[in-house]
Structure 1
Amino acid sequence: MGDEVPVGLARLWRLPTESRLGRPAELDVERVVRTAVDLADRDGLAGVTLAKVAKELGYTTMSLYRHVGSKEELLVLMGDAATGPAPALPAGPGQWRAGLRQWAYGIRAQHARHTWLPHLPISGPPSGPNAVSWMDACLRALADTGLGWAEKVGIMTLLSGYVRSSSQLSLDMAEGRRGSGLDQPQVEQAYGRALAGLVDAERFPEVAALFTSGLFEAPPEPAGDPELAEFEFGLDLILDGVAAAIRAAQSTSTSTGS
């Protein structure tokens, strides 16, 4: 079986890719990936190159190619390692919403722990053991909903994309505020004041009404973290859509008697 699996995928699943006699090698995929993740946590994705990883490990760059075929493969390995295994979710009839909510918050927490993770290039569908565990957890949360496979995969893709884009936006905005000394409400207030004097009400009537509404001048202050409140608002919209899809599927099933 191992011979049929592409080398990169075998390394991702930690399958043996070649037989070795004698003493075990001091360097392996696990050490390379762990070092690369530590570098990314410290210096961001830009700080991760094969040469820098090799230097951290005390080896030559060429020695890494026995364990990682390319920078692109290393990024895939790093992403799966940093994502970690999925947590146990609420399961059973009627538990899909709680399960998907916990699933989304779990991914968001990993993004906060490894801030480079949501900016990692996507090279394909989930393929590593940790990524597949999150995939399986999401599908299990939807198992008793009556939805078909295409609908369940679509929901998973939509939800994971929302969490990723939300994390990216939060991190990018935090980076943009760095050095300004302003928090997000102050940034929004300055934005509203600047644009209010530029937007022509005849050309952009709704936007002009927005800027004169006072929303940016005195933005509402939800209890707790405003970014968390924004995330929760978007998440609820998606889950409400999932609920509508489930009702439609169950209604169709009832009407056809299947």
Structure 2
Amino acid sequence: MGHNQPSTAGEVPADLARLWRLPASARRGRPAELDVDRVVEAAVELADRDGLDGVTLQKVAQALGFTKMSLYRHVGSKEELVELMADHATGSAPGIAAGGWRDGVHRWAAAIRARYAEHPWLVEVPLAGPPRGPNAIGWMDAFLRVLHDTGLDPRTKAGVLVVVSGYVRNAILQGRQLAEGRRGTGLSQVQVERNYGRALAALVDPERFPAAAPLFNAGAFETAPGENPEDQDFVFGLDLILDGVEAAIARLDR
């Protein structure tokens, strides 16, 4: 029961039809007590509570009060369920207020980052290919609207989307790994970076490490009170990417 099932909605593959909630062929008898939405919502609740590894077809079926075999009428496989879950949890893209394209990309990135924070397991979802679900396409559309007036061609806009969305995903994953790394220490990321900078300042010899030593001597790893280093790093990295996009736009103008 994988992705290559016969289509139930014209020429659209069955898994894609379910992802887009296309109407299936009518069945005689009593209406089904279970549907795709109920299955997906139960699975997302499990993932929010136990992580992606905590979601199995058996556990979802138990949560709904059905047998595992009952789910196969609505979900073809675990892989399909995960794709359905991701599109559901990502939700609809927000409207991006009118403004410059850079500000628009920042707003888009902040919005998708917030959605990942609501469902931390989303960063664990395997990337099997380009986005296919209606919500995923909605986020794509919102991003491309932001770049509408830049003069970039469609292929370049798609490339910018891949780079930015990959950056957001990687930044979130790195933040999670840093949090796991300091688990049990009782230290915040601000404290970890401060302690790191101060300890290494006494060890990094300017004669041996002439380029690295100034970082430690200048207190580059100190964070001002009230500032979040993870947020600062996120904005800094995104701006570097957008500087490259701005250069590409400038080449078009020339």
Instruction: Determine which of 101, 109, 116 is the counterpart of 2:114.
Output: 109
CA contact (8 A) 1:44 1:116 kept: yes
Partner of 2:247: 244
- 2:94 pairs with 1:87: yes
How do 1:74-223 and structure 2 match up within 5 A? 74-91=81-98, 95-192=100-197, 204-216=209-221, 219-221=222-224, 223=226
CA contact (8 A) 1:40 1:116 kept: yes
TM-score when scaled to structure 2? 0.88
Distance of 1:67 and 1:200 partners within structure 2: 63
Q: CA deviation at 1:140?
A: 1.2
Aligned residues between the structures: 247
How many percent identity over aligned positions?
Answer: 61
Task: Provide structure 1 residue ranges, at least 5 long, that are not aligned to the other structure.
Answer: 252-258
Distance 1:22 1:3, change over 3 A: same
Distance 1:3 1:23, change over 3 A: same
Task: Provide structure 2 residue ranges, at least 5 long, that are not aligned to the other structure.
Answer: 1-7
What secondary structure does 1:21 align onto?
A: coil
How do 1:25-40 and structure 2 match up within 5 A? 25-40=32-47
CA contact (8 A) 1:33 1:77 kept: yes
Partner of 2:229: 226
CA contact (8 A) 1:90 1:98 kept: no
**How big is each residue's C-alpha offset from its partner over 1:141-197, in whole Å with a ceiling of 9 and x where there is no partner?**
111111111110111111111111111111221222222101112222343456567
TM-score when scaled to structure 1? 0.87
Distance 1:202 1:51, change over 3 A: farther
- 2:238 pairs with 1:235: yes
CA contact (8 A) 1:146 1:246 kept: yes
